[in-house]
Amino acid sequence: MGAAETKLLFREDAYSKTCQATIVACNEEGIQLDQTVFYGRGGGQPGDTGLLKLTDGSAIEIVDTIKSKFKKGLIHIPASPNIMLAPGTHVVAAIDWQRRYQMMRMHSCLHLLSAIIGGAVTGGQVGFEESRLDFDLPEANLDKSEINTDLNSLVKANHQITPRWVPDDELSANPALVKTMSVKPPEGAGMVRLVDIAGVDLQACGGTHVARTGEIGFVEVTKIKNKGRHNRRVTIALAEQSHSR
């Protein structure tokens, strides 16, 4: 499919629901566009789903979005594996917004969770109904009620959440900006994306987030499990399903 770069519009505006795009390539790997609002699976966040709308009024259902094996491309996976479209074809890329917005709220909430609980993050998963983080903690003394109270206090404070970019060497000089031991941020392009929750948390992250913590809504810590000698898994859920901003 080649190594053409896809312009990732969600990096600067996670609220973009649609965009005009041109097909760069289409084969057994999937469909690559010159630019997209679809988030590609990574960092514990699932890839976006949605539609690619053609000029004749038809639409192609997209069931996942992944990073290409050929480095810089982002691949949209169609529901039908036999879709073949010529490079240069114009489409409108439209994400499933309800699903995406729920992921944005969940992912932002996990950043709050990582700020509340001390200990390195050993893994995590953003989900539609539940999301989780695993922490490297030697003692199993996490208090569900206390974490619940602290999370909802941060949500109600409505802290601003903003992305910003720093040079690779700044990240290297500040290893604390990388909280997740199992996922390393992409380096080598000169700049790394940080997500800043004002006064609460700052860490490297390429995912999509809400603009303020108040959008997350009421949070519930549903369970805390011991997953090994030093591993504590904290699972959260949101009281309300996603809604349009």
For residues 71 and 89, state if they share a domain.
yes
For residues 168 and 111, state if they share a domain.
yes
pLDDT above 60 (res 168): yes
Burial letters for 82-100: b for 16+ Cβ neighbours within 10 Å, e otherwise? ebeeeeebebebbbbbebb
pTM of the shown model: 0.91
The amino acid that residue 242 corresponds to is S
For residues 113 and 183, state if they share a domain.
yes
Q: Give me the pLDDT at residue 1, please.
A: 42
Distance between CA atoms of residues 89 and 53, nearest Å: 11
The amino acid that residue 123 corresponds to is G
**Mean pLDDT confidence for 194-205:** 92
213 vs 71, more confident = 213
Report if residue 245 sits inside a domain.
no
CATH number assigned to the domain comprising residue 49: 2.40.30.130
With bands split at pLDDT 50, 70 and 90, how would you rate the model's confidence at 226? confident
For residues 79 and 24, state if they share a domain.
yes
3-state secondary structure of 123: strand
For residues 157 and 200, state if they share a domain.
yes
For residues 175 and 218, state if they share a domain.
yes
pLDDT above 60 (res 173): yes
What percent of the chain is helix, strand and coil (3-state, nearest 5)?
Answer: 20, 40, 40
With bands split at pLDDT 50, 70 and 90, how would you rate the model's confidence at 192? confident
| Domain termination residue (choose one: 95, 120, 137) | 95
For residues 77 and 145, state if they share a domain.
no
For residues 183 and 85, state if they share a domain.
no
